[in-house]
Copies of this chain bind each other. A is one copy, B any other.
Amino acid sequence: MDHIDAYWRAANYLSVGQIYLLDNPLLTEPLRPEHIKPRLLGHWGTTPGLNFCFAHLNRVIRERDQDMIYIAGPGHGGPAAVAHAWLEGSYTERYPDVSQDVEGMRRLFRQFSFPGGVPSHVAPETPGSIHEGGELGYALAHAYGAAFDNPDLVVACIIGDGEAETGPLAASWHSNKFLDRRRDGTVLPILHLNGYKIANPTVLARIPTGELIKLMEGYGYRPHLVGADHEEMAGALDTAFEELAAYKAGDAARLPMIILRTPKGWTGPKEVDGKPVEGTWRAHQVPLPTVRENAGHLAMLEEWMRSYRPEELFGPDGRPVADVLATVPRGERRMSANPHTNGGELLEPLRLPDFRRLAVEVKAPAAQSSEPTRVLGGFLRDVIAANPRTFRLMGPDETASNRLSEVFEVTDKAWDAETLPTDENLGEGGRVMEVLSEHLCQGWLEGYLLTGRHGLFNCYEAFIHIVDAMFNQHAKWLESSQKISWRRPVASLTYLLSSHVWRQDHNGFSHQDPGFLDVVVNKKASVVRVYLPPDANTLLSVADHCLRSRDYVNVIVAGKQPVLDLFTMDEAIAHNTRGIGILPWASTDEGTEPDVVLACAGDVPTLETLAAAALLREHLPELRVRVVNVVDLMKLQPPSEHPHGMPDAEFDTLFTTDRPIIFNFHGYPSLIHQLAYRRHGHAHLHVRGYKEEGTTTTPFDMCMLNDIDRFHLVMDVIDRVPGLGSKAAHLRQRMSDERLRARAHTRDHGEDPADIRSWTWPGGVSAS
């Protein structure tokens, strides 16, 4: 226990040093104001508790040779994680400048929360972490994600009582119903009750202990109460690891968890300026705020730091002494150096079956229909079969609804609760994770990817906004990681957004929102990729591409309802490789300068654009129309803004610089302007898209409500191409009448006119 205490004191000392000191790291001379940082930043309150956990977990790792990583939910306790990595030597291995000596300790202190230094929170820069604790709520979901398919791993997950109030965390406790005790590792939640958040007490610290125990039992855990005491913690951990072993062996039904109560800011100043600090919310950030200016505070700081007896912990050379290091594990057993926390080191490429085998046969473009996601389901089935331990498919109870059901030919949905005879496709080892929580799907997948595995998240398009904030944080993690040389690339996080805005006519307005793309494109171009494959074959090829990629967030928008097949597989691959291209068979410009460009992105807008092109071909055959389809949305940006961006010359060749462009877009129209405003032809760019009109109605009525329908597109062309004459004026009127006819039919019959439902490219054969 002395060794644990020595390690703990050393970590606490190093934590305080990081918050306060520019110099004099070993306190070899009395503290003076110039040793103190001018801006005091950091969070002390949670830090001693984190250090306490690290110290005790290390003892268990050594005694059991346990493969273990930690997730520090209170990631604002950055000093703790950094101190831990430095004591374990892994910090110096990653950052040789920050050596394990006096000079290294000085650098360690100075760099913390300092310009040009390291962040105040646990971050990608921190060895041993897969979890940034800035935005709270995701610690436990990340922990479970890391544990999946790592049968020998224990993920110790420290959950702050502030974070425990968030929705995502409250739901995450139930992740135990999705854990497979044979194929997965385990999670040891440590609910750390220090009683306060920023300025308030926490709920779980202030409900009766009996109620808290019931809550944890209700969540399906065996709770163990621990106070601020080494013996209690060690005993509880020994019990918990016995229970984890029993759980793994099938001898115990429930995972253990620990409820650790310690004072906030434990071992810090008890009272400052007459107000209690230790054990109150006042310990949250910097307990002594004016050390440089206030001699009394300076003396308190020195007294506080000396209370850890640094002279017993570090040699005169600054190296931690043997007693401190006695509990530190070796090599990859160190939590700060465990390769699971730098998942790219463990990452193996997916075994990807040849997606071309799943290709839909296309004899003529736009002559037959397929359900793109159903076709993709066959590919995902084969991906799962070929990668039985390294790929998972996440979905909030929507995998079947999104028509990916072919995956169930080879796997089940993970489930470790009661099953009934009527259940289908539930079972241990299932590769499909279905829970009605987008937060859990996202959190599990992030944890799974960051520990070196692969996956895909399928979701209704509108409800992916539920994880906007999580996407932001994951993108930021990747943006930072890309700049850190020792962080190896991990598999991309790929979203498949289906049941999209244009085909939620039956569910109504609440289900109609294509705005996730707008959130995504705000993040760095080095990270984000957006694809809108217009048919089944392009979807297959895009999915294959995304599953091979690293360190990106890929967003694929693709429908589950039948859409026209446009490309043979070879054509689809070529179209995707360019990312954008002319559909010559739908165009009438014959390789000359067109009178108008009809551009489109997204399956339904493409269908309507094609139908408009056919109408124009029939009724205004002399008009030179060019149809351009965009698969890779980032092609629209200039190359200076995104690596996929097209050079202006290419853009100008495709879109012209002076002809009207009618762009029919899947999402909000402003996004196209945002991406293309720098282009020469932008003044002639007219974008149709979702303009927040919707209700429960029919698919074509949804198009008409938002003016993306074929008839309105023809009207747009006539309005924008000068000099078309009376024939065009006539056609315009007819289009307007067609809209009224379709609207009336819908109102009378409750479904779209048959000629619209079964439309195919003239001359082709209808598949419906």
From B39, B132, B674, give the contact of A750 (CB < 8 A): B39
Residues of chain B with a CB closer than 8 A to A413's CB: 200
Residues of chain B with a CB closer than 8 A to A513's CB: 472
- Interchain CB contact under 8 A, B515 and A519: yes
A518 interface residue per 8 A CB criterion: yes
From B198, B508, B749, give the contact of A401 (CB < 8 A): B198
Q: Known contacts being A201-B426, A476-B510, A692-B523, is A174 close to B165, with CB within 8 Å?
A: yes
Residue on B with the closest CB to A418? Answer: B206
What's the least CB distance linking A138 to chain B, in Å?
A: 10
- Interchain CB contact under 8 A, B207 and A215: no
Residue on B with the closest CB to A134? Answer: B510
Residues of chain B with a CB closer than 8 A to A440's CB: 165, 167
From B120, B169, B212, B677, give the contact of A167 (CB < 8 A): B169
- Interchain CB contact under 8 A, B466 and A469: yes
Residues of chain B with a CB closer than 8 A to A695's CB: 119
A107 interface residue per 8 A CB criterion: no
A387 interface residue per 8 A CB criterion: no
Interface residues of A in 409-454 (CB under 8 A from B): 413, 415, 417-420, 422-423, 426, 434-437, 439-440
> What 0/1 readout, one digit per residue, does chain A (376-401) give for beta carbons within 8 Å of chain B?
00000000000000000000011111
A233 interface residue per 8 A CB criterion: no
Q: How many copies does the complex hold?
A: 2
- Interchain CB contact under 8 A, A119 and B509: yes
A508→B132 CA distance, assembly (Å): 11
A94 interface residue per 8 A CB criterion: no
What's the least CB distance linking A456 to chain B, in Å?
A: 18
A173→B399 CA distance, assembly (Å): 28
- Interchain CB contact under 8 A, B217 and A506: no
Residues of chain B with a CB closer than 8 A to A466's CB: 135, 137, 468-469
From B117, B439, B522, give the contact of A692 (CB < 8 A): B522
- Interchain CB contact under 8 A, A167 and B418: no
A227 interface residue per 8 A CB criterion: no
What's the least CB distance linking A442 to chain B, in Å?
A: 11
A170 interface residue per 8 A CB criterion: yes
Residues of chain B with a CB closer than 8 A to A41's CB: 506, 696
Comparing A108-116, A488-496, A529-537, A647-655, the segment that makes contact with chain B is: A108-116
A398→B284 CA distance, assembly (Å): 13
A396→B169 CA distance, assembly (Å): 15
Residues of chain B with a CB closer than 8 A to A399's CB: 199
Residues of chain B with a CB closer than 8 A to A463's CB: 135, 469
A77 interface residue per 8 A CB criterion: no
- Interchain CB contact under 8 A, B134 and A507: yes
Q: Can you list 17 A-B pairs with a CB-CB distance of less than 8 A?
A: A38-B749, A115-B701, A119-B509, A121-B696, A162-B397, A167-B167, A167-B172, A169-B171, A199-B399, A203-B435, A211-B217, A212-B218, A215-B218, A279-B422, A468-B519, A472-B515, A677-B682
| 10 nearest A-B pairs in the assembled complex, by CB-CB distance | A215-B218, A134-B510, A167-B167, A170-B170, A214-B218, A465-B469, A206-B417, A167-B171, A165-B436, A468-B468
Which residues on A are within 8 Å of B, measured CB to CB?
Answer: 22, 37-39, 41, 76, 113-121, 123, 132, 134-137, 162-163, 165-174, 177, 197-203, 206-208, 211-220, 276, 279-280, 397-401, 413, 415, 417-420, 422-423, 426, 434-437, 439-440, 462-463, 465-466, 468-469, 472-473, 476, 479-480, 506-511, 513, 515, 518-519, 521-524, 668, 670, 673-674, 677, 682, 692, 695-698, 701, 746-747, 749-751
